[in-house]
Amino acid sequence: MTDTKRGITAEDLYQICYPSEPQLSPDGTKAVFVETKMDELRQYQSHIYLYSLEDNSKTALTSGPFRDSFPRWSPDGSKLCFVSNRSGKAQLWHLDVNETEFKQITNGPNGISSPVWSPDGRSIAFAAFLRTGQTLTEGTEELTEEATPKSITVDKMKYKSDDSGFVYEKNKQVAVVNIETGSVTQLTEGTYDHAVGSWSPDGKWLAITANRSVNPDIQHEIDIYLVPVEGGEWKKITNSDGTYAMPTFSKDGKKLAFIGSVADQHLYATMKKIWVAELDAGTVQCLTADWDVHVGDATIGDVRSPGHPNPGAVWTTDGQGMYVIASEKGSSGIYLVHLDGSVTKVVGGERNVYGFTFDNEKNSLVMAVSDSLTPGDLFHVDLNTETEKRLTDVNGELFQEIRLSTPEEIWYEGAEGWNIQGWILKPVGFQEGNTYPAILQIHGGPHSMYGHTFFHEFQLLAAQGYVVVYTNPRGSYGYGERFVQACCGDYGGNDYKDLMHAVDYVCQFDYVDETRLGVAGGSYGGFMTNWIIGQGNRFKAAVTDRSICNWISFYGVSDIGYYFSAEEIQANPFENPEKMWHHSPLRLVANMETPLLIMHGERDYRCPIEQAEQLYMTLRHRGKAPVSFIRFPGANHEMSRSGDPEQRVLRLQYTVDWFNQYV
Ligand SMILES: CSCC[C@H](NC=O)C(=O)N[C@@H](CO)C(=O)O
């Protein structure tokens, strides 16, 4: 039988879409969700869809060249709100389920996000960026680039962010809007960022999060507060000893569950846990202190942008526990954490659950799931019958014509005999007896996790005839706290060895041509790519994306530089510059002879482009190996996942061309 399917291309990215943010109606008969795709102008659009679980129909509730998100049912299921930029900035919109017209509810000057319905269905809490002194009722004055002053006085350390740009003059405030009258009450103010959590069941309190420390530049703690909606004294629930998020009230209003970690010396290199506050007793307890698993979805892919609204902790109806997403050994699933600290896996499997939602009675759930061959789809789970049904196949038509490669899981011995998990993707059309070049891919973070999720770039390389090897070296999530922290202070040490052992491992296979190896990675993965080519000439070509090469300058130019390097490199430029330099790949330039493609976004405030410039300039000056430098104007650190679609496709094409030329 002839195989009429083709390998995936870079341009297929324009066709790939994914659902997110499923929201089951309170009675469990229907779900709304967001579907994101690119239009014919290669711009993102996201729309709200309604899926009827009674007749399995899917209806678009919104359309047009807009970004619609955050669909949320009112508590009685008769209304929906969502956030949309259809009038310019992202504002809150409202839709009566039996009508087709929707109406705009907010008019915040810089847009809003994260709506949460009040229990009586009359109001919605939300978050809005506001300048100091600016209010939500000031009309539609916008903070545009043109409004940027001729000079900017920087007077704090956290003055820019890769996500939001220059944040020196804006803060995130929490407000409540009455959906009938449109009147807005701003609940928070000041030079602090606040985030909406949940309403108390009696509608009197809002649980929010904020860092309101004296010096947020160096105090990174985020606390949970209860704010009285009608005004009055706030209650501080946590004790400025960690970073806590997504508080949710139990049904009886007596407890709050939230997700977070205690801030000792680790902000990034630590796993998130579940916490419960007993509000009358004033106690806070970590429920999962003995569960060595990260709460949250740590899986890294390249189709969806990370950080989709996470459901947080969802209480059971009897208030005896809560459902959360957690990440283990390359998979993320849904777990039930009981108040006594015991944990039951509710939805498992070799896949990446990146969103879920329950009906009111917790009889059923709808979840958003990706796996190695599926960018994302929705599934319905009946918890009584324990049956699962696929609801969508959003890329079905496209993927019918594409031949994908199915990854094979490997476990191999890393440095110090540690057991390391990884995957091998054989080339599309693989034939026994042939040999193939291989590419080692290295994820960023370093605290994230490769796993059972779709990776377009890997499939593209497999379609181009490469074996793709990707593993979770120490520093990754999914293997416990000790594993996550093991790279701190040792960048380029045992993490590097874990990766090299992966290469040794795959080179044992007859089908791998060990004289034709390539290496690629982004961010921390880019740091490691630079480090690897500084160790010798094992690889024929390398692609380094949004990378770091010099920790001394990274410290001062990255939005997180001064505290990230304290934790991860365990040094700073004024106390131990030798250590900063020791872990900097730029130190190794004299050894670098591997053809290197450097790609970097010009608006990357996480790993600013000066890192790429330093590497490019020194390699060119030395002149020992081909080096090419691609700058992406306007692109930030997230470009490969959620950036300009054409830039994303170009980046993939440059990668393939480089490996095809040199490996
Ligand atoms: C090593 S410097 C900062 C790197 C960055 N870490 C946190 O933001 C990183 O590696 N990011 C990853 C994961 O988001 C990436 O792939 O960009």
Q: Which helix (H) or strand (E) holds 20?
A: strand 18-24
Q: Report whether residue 445 contacts ligand 1, using a CB cutoff of 6 Å.
A: yes
CA nearest ligand 1 atom 1, residue: 524
- Evaluate whether 612 touches 597 at the Cβ level (below 8 Å): no
**Closest ligand 1 atom to the C-alpha of 523?**
10
- Per-residue confidence (pLDDT) for residue 265, from 0 to 100: 62
Ligand 1 centroid – CA 266 distance (Å):
16
Q: How far apart are CA 422 and CA 512, in angstroms?
A: 16
Higher-scoring residue by pLDDT: 142, 637: 637
Worst-scoring range by mean pLDDT, 34-43, 146-155, 285-294?
A: 146-155
Q: Report whether residue 488 contacts ligand 1, using a CB cutoff of 6 Å.
A: no
- Evaluate whether 97 touches 70 at the Cβ level (below 8 Å): no
User: Which pTM was predicted?
Assistant: 0.96
- Per-residue confidence (pLDDT) for residue 309, from 0 to 100: 65
Worst-scoring range by mean pLDDT, 159-163, 317-321, 615-619?
A: 159-163
Q: Give ipTM to 2 decimals.
A: 0.97
Look at residues 227, 229, 228 and name the one whose alpha carbon lies nearest to residue 176. 229
**Closest ligand 1 atom to the C-alpha of 637?**
17
Worst-scoring range by mean pLDDT, 263-272, 464-473, 488-497?
A: 263-272
Please provide residue 341's backbone torsions phi and psi, each rounded to the nearest 5 degrees: 95, -10
- Per-residue confidence (pLDDT) for residue 131, from 0 to 100: 84
The model's confidence at residue 167, banded by pLDDT at 50, 70 and 90, is confident
- Per-residue confidence (pLDDT) for residue 152, from 0 to 100: 85
- Evaluate whether 381 touches 347 at the Cβ level (below 8 Å): yes
- Evaluate whether 547 touches 607 at the Cβ level (below 8 Å): yes
DSSP 311-371: ---EE-TTSSEEEEEEEETTEEEEEEEETTS-EEEEE-SSSEEEEEEE-TTSSEEEEEEEE
Instruction: Give per-residue pLDDT as tens, 389-444.
Output: 999 999 999 999 999 999 999 999 999 999 999 999 999 999 999 999 999 999 99
Nearest-10 Cα torsion for 500, 502, 504, 509: -160
Higher-scoring residue by pLDDT: 32, 2: 32
Helices (H) and strands (E) in the chain, counts: 11, 39
Bond preceding residue 446 cis, omega within 30 of 0 = yes
- Per-residue confidence (pLDDT) for residue 138, from 0 to 100: 56
494 CB-side CA count, 13 A: 19
Residue 146 has pLDDT above 80, yes or no: no
The model's confidence at residue 97, banded by pLDDT at 50, 70 and 90, is confident
Residue 145 has pLDDT above 70, yes or no: no
- Cα angle 285, 291, 293 (rounded to 5 degrees) comes to 115
Q: Which helix (H) or strand (E) holds 71?
A: strand 68-73
Question: How far apart, in Å, are the Cα atoms of 173 and each of 72, 109, 122, 652?
Answer: 20, 12, 20, 38
- Evaluate whether 249 touches 199 at the Cβ level (below 8 Å): yes
Residue 297 has pLDDT above 60, yes or no: yes
- Per-residue confidence (pLDDT) for residue 142, from 0 to 100: 52
Q: Which of 268, 304, 524 to mutate to test the pocket of ligand 1 (most atoms within 8 A of CB)?
A: 524
Ligand 1 centroid – CA 354 distance (Å):
19
Neighbours of 8 (CB within 10 A): 27
Q: What is the side-by-side order of every strand in the sheet holding 18-24?
A: 18-24, 30-38, 44-52, 58-60
Which residues are known catalytic residues?
523, 637
Strands 58-60 and 44-52: antiparallel
Instruction: Give per-residue pLDDT as tens, 411-420.
Output: 999 999 999 9
- Per-residue confidence (pLDDT) for residue 226, from 0 to 100: 98
- Evaluate whether 372 touches 452 at the Cβ level (below 8 Å): yes
The model's confidence at residue 139, banded by pLDDT at 50, 70 and 90, is low
Please provide residue 519's backbone torsions phi and psi, each rounded to the nearest 5 degrees: -140, 140
Residues in the chain, overall count: 663
Q: How far apart are CA 463 and CA 442, in angstroms?
A: 19
Mean pLDDT of 79-93: 96
Mean pLDDT of 213-233: 95
**Closest ligand 1 atom to the C-alpha of 306?**
14
Domain boundaries, the chain: 420-428+435-662
Look at residues 114, 135, 111, 137 and name the one whose alpha carbon lies nearest to residue 124. 114
* pLDDT, mean over the chain: 95
Instruction: Give per-residue pLDDT as tens, 337-372.
Output: 999 999 999 999 999 999 999 999 999 999 999 999
Q: Could you tell me which CATH number the domain at 420-428+435-662 has?
A: 3.40.50.1820
- Per-residue confidence (pLDDT) for residue 307, from 0 to 100: 63
- Per-residue confidence (pLDDT) for residue 150, from 0 to 100: 84
Worst-scoring range by mean pLDDT, 145-159, 435-449, 633-647?
A: 145-159
Residue 602: helix, strand or coil by DSSP? coil
Ligand 1 centroid – CA 6 distance (Å):
33
Q: How far apart are CA 334 and CA 319, in angstroms?
A: 17
Q: Report whether residue 607 contacts ligand 1, using a CB cutoff of 6 Å.
A: yes
Mean pLDDT of 297-306: 90
Q: How far apart are CA 163 and CA 305, in angstroms?
A: 12
Residue 90 has pLDDT above 80, yes or no: yes
Q: Report whether residue 527 contacts ligand 1, using a CB cutoff of 6 Å.
A: yes
Worst-scoring range by mean pLDDT, 149-153, 407-411, 491-495?
A: 149-153
Q: Which two tokens stand for residue 384?
A: 């009584």
